[in-house]
């Protein structure tokens, strides 16, 4: 019983740390800003396919990333909530491998444009922001996330060991 809790906490912490590192990498490469934002860390939202520890992992990683990169309070709260919803949805769809990236894409397409408008004063129309956020999410979750999922499937018993 104790080993399961330690494993869960360790996996969640590692995923959170990786999320933060990938967010800083995307920022350094200039991918996290502009009309179409590709947050590399969002590809980790497919990890609930392998372990439920990924849900708090990506959520805490997103929260820390948003705080450390200087996001507004509104973005910290609602951006993190979008990631939580996406990760939880991915977990619920884990029986349908190729649908796993859809919840984070959908959650971010619905929530992030409003964050951009209300928190940062972006004047673009909400449908346009939904399109641009959606493109970035399709790249990060749909393409990179699925590549990650397919690659990790080969090693799931080693990386996501269960007791």
Q: Mean per-residue pLDDT for 33-52?
A: 89
Cβ pair 135, 36 in contact under 8 A: yes
Q: What does the pLDDT look like over 64-94, one tens digit per residue?
A: 999 999 999 999 999 999 999 999 999 999 9
- Quote the pLDDT of residue 14: 97
State pTM to two decimals.
0.92
Count of beta carbons in the 10 Å neighbourhood of residue 97: 14
Q: Mean per-residue pLDDT for 18-29?
A: 95
Q: What are phi and psi of 36, to 5 degrees?
A: -115, 115
CA atoms within 13 A on the CB side of 156: 12
């Amino acid at each position: 019983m104790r080993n399961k809790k330690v494993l869960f906490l360790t996996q969640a912490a590692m995923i959170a740390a990786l999320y933060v590192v990938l967010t800083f990498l995307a920022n350094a490469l200039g991918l996290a800003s502009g009309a179409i934002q590709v947050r590399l860390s969002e590809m980790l939202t497919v990890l609930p396919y392998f372990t439920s520890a990924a849900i708090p992992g990506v959520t805490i990683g997103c929260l820390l990333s948003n705080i450390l990169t200087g996001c507004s309070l509104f973005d910290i709260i609602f951006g993190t909530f979008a990631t939580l919803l996406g990760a939880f949805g991915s977990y619920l769809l884990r029986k349908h491998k190729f649908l796993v990236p859809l919840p984070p894409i959908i959650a971010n397409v619905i929530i992030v444009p409003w964050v951009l408008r209300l928190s940062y004063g972006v004047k673009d129309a909400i449908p346009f922001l939904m399109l641009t956020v959606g493109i970035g999410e399709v790249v990060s979750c749909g393409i990179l996330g699925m590549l990650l999922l397919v690659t990790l499937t080969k090693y799931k018993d080693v990386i996501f060991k269960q007791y």
